[in-house]
Amino acid sequence: MNLQEIYEIVKKELSEKRFFHSQCVMERCEEIAKKMNYDIETAKKVGIAHDIAKEIPNEEKLKYVEKNNIEIDEIERDNPTLLHAKIGADISIKKLGFTTEMANAISAHTTGRPNMRLLDKILFIADRTSRERGFPDIDYLNSLLEENIDKAVLYILDKKIMLQIEKKAPMHVDSVITRNWILKNTEV
């Protein structure tokens, strides 16, 4: 399926605000893919589609994972908003014709995962640094990205983990496992 067809399908599934975010993530995926010499078209497709399941009501998310035999854990069951990544990955394969690599990037875009591939990292960073988010540390994060993509991923994971600690909220174990994997297996 070409980018325009995917764009139109995603547009129908999301609110105007969420679709604008997806457009911004798509643009950011393109920027990062160029820097990393990754296929721009693939990165843009993943960027526009990454939140396709975000606005599915939580009860429907739980029904979807059960019906489609998607394995979830206790944290995801208690916080079904996290399920949009796994459901989005499933939808992207079944409805948009994505490859497993593309779907895996969508699946990992919220929590990360050990041994992230380049596309996973591109989407993970793009989702956090898209222009509409307006985070004050974007220049610093971009400097990390220029230096080493794994440093940028680690920085985002650290921020996500600290936010959950500050909120006294549970965090998904995948974020901690991913952080530990990066520290052990990359040069950050």
Instruction: Please report which confidence band the pLDDT of residue 129 belongs to, taking 50, 70 and 90 as the band edges.
Output: very high
Alpha-carbon span 143 to 145, nearest angstrom: 5
pLDDT over 90 (residue 68): yes
3-137: CATH architecture: Orthogonal Bundle (1.10)
The pLDDT assigned to 136 comes to 87
Q: How many CA atoms lie within 13 A of 161 on its CB side?
A: 15
Average pLDDT over residues 21-26: 98
Cβ(51)–Cβ(88) under 8 Å? Answer: yes
Task: Check residue 149 and give its pLDDT.
Answer: 96
Domain spans in the chain, listed from the N-terminal domain onward: 3-137
- Is 0.85 topped by the overall pTM? yes
So what's the pLDDT on residue 27? Answer: 98
53 phi, psi to nearest 5 deg: -100, 5
Token reading at 166: 């500050």
- Average of per-residue pLDDT across 38-66: 98
